[in-house]
Structure 1
């Protein structure tokens, strides 16, 4: 269907078209569909303060160059959503380290969703997150998300810790979670979505993502 490409500051020039397409999809989904007025801008691109040189994008791109889904990773040693916008969600302290990244802006293109049943596209995006994290040697992932994500990720077999209380927000009740990145979580997610032993990463990206200089130390589906 599509493969996940790891895009960082060093290779972004090769992905200018897909990156713009993904910003447009984010606008369509988060503002057009989900009515997140807190992030609305006068242009049809959803871009925030964390879309900077430190961001790593995990974009699902098909053979025709179309963006099918994706998400974003931000290094927790840099400003990020939990540290700068929602510190109250981590009442025991916000975990920050060079191998802890924050996960944000997960999406699947509307045409690939299957309401009421698991979506293969969603499975590729979620497995791609874990597989990319393992490749990039990311040990933990923090996330600010709607409360339903806790049960959803636990059902996939992800080791998840809740960092604090839920709070009401204009765009819905949200909580903060800390996810342990493990091979077991990847294996169980692959099994749920029928992706057993199948890598969802674009082969050409594996070498780039492990070059001599690592990436900057780095939701409704």
Structure 2
């Protein structure tokens, strides 16, 4: 269906068009679709303070060059969403470390979503995330997310630690969690989405 490409500061020029489309799809999903008005801009590209040269992007790119899905990883030794915007979700002590990255902006293109359940495309992006972390030496990922996510990920076999209480937020109830990354988690995710053990990532 598509491969997940690892894009960082070193290879960004080769993915310039794809990155622009990625930010455009983010705008369509988070601003137009989910009505996150604080992200609204005159130009329909969703780029925030944490899209820096230190960010790592995971772009699902199909055979026609379209953005099928994506995610972002931000090193926790740098400013990130949990440390700068929602530190109280982790008791004002967000986890940090050279091998700890924050996972944000996970999405699947609307055309690939499946009503009533998670799509194969979601499985590809999630496996791409885990593969990329293992390849890059990332052992744990923190995330600020909707309150339903921990249970959903645990059903996939992910080891999740909730970092604090749920916060009632205008965009929906949210919490922070820390996720352990290992080969066992990757394998259980492949099984859950009926994917073989072939790598889904490119680059990095």
TM-score, normalised with respect to structure 1: 0.90
For residues 170 and 49 of structure 1, the distance between their equivalents in structure 2, rounded to whole angstroms, comes to 20
Aligned to 2:197: 197
Deviation at 1:172, TM superposition (A): 1.1
Q: Structure 1: 5+ residue runs without aligned partners?
A: 210-221
Range with bigger deviation, 48-57 or 90-99: 90-99
Task: Please list the CA deviations of residues 174-219 of structure 1 after superposition, one character each: whole Å capped at 9, or x if unmatched.
Answer: 10000000101100000011113121112xx1xxx2xxxxxxxxxx
Matched, 1:77 2:77: yes
Q: Deviations over 1:132-162 (max 9, x none)?
A: 0000010100000000101011001000000
List, as ranges, runs of 4+ consecutive aligned residues in structure 1 with deviation greater than 2 Å. Answer: none
Alpha-carbon RMSD across the aligned residues, in angstroms, is 0.9
Unmatched tracts of structure 2, length 5 or more: none
Pair 1:122-2:122 in alignment:
yes
| 1:92 Cα deviation after fit | 6.8
Aligned counterpart, 1:54? 54
**Is residue 41 of structure 2 the alignment partner of residue 45 of structure 1?**
no
Q: Deviations over 1:55-111 (max 9, x none)?
A: 000000112111100100000000000000000000172110011000000011111
> How do 1:60-99 and structure 2 match up within 5 A?
60-91=60-91, 93-99=93-99
Counterpart of 1:50 in 2: which secondary structure? coil
Displacement after TM superposition at 1:49 (Å): 0.3
Q: Matched residue pairs, number?
A: 204
Contact 1:6 1:58 in 2 (8 A): yes
Q: Name the CA distance, whole Å, in 1 between partners of 2:40 and 2:88.
A: 23
The question of whether the paired residues in 2 share the 8 Å contact of 1:187 and 1:196 is answered with no
1:140 is aligned to 2:140 = yes
The whole-number CA distance in structure 2 between the counterparts of 1:140 and 1:199 is 20
Q: Does 1:23 align with 2:49?
A: no
- The answer (yes or no) to whether the contact 1:7–1:58 under 8 Å persists in 2 is yes
Aligned pairs for 1:168-179 (under 5 A) are: 168-179=168-179
Higher strand share: 2
Report the Cα distance in structure 2 between the residues aligned to 1:31 and 1:69, rounded to whole angstroms.
16
Whole-Å Cα distance in 1 between the matches of residues 80 and 194 of structure 2? 33
Secondary structure in structure 2 of the residue aligned to 1:82: helix
**How far 1:118 moved relative to its partner?**
2.4
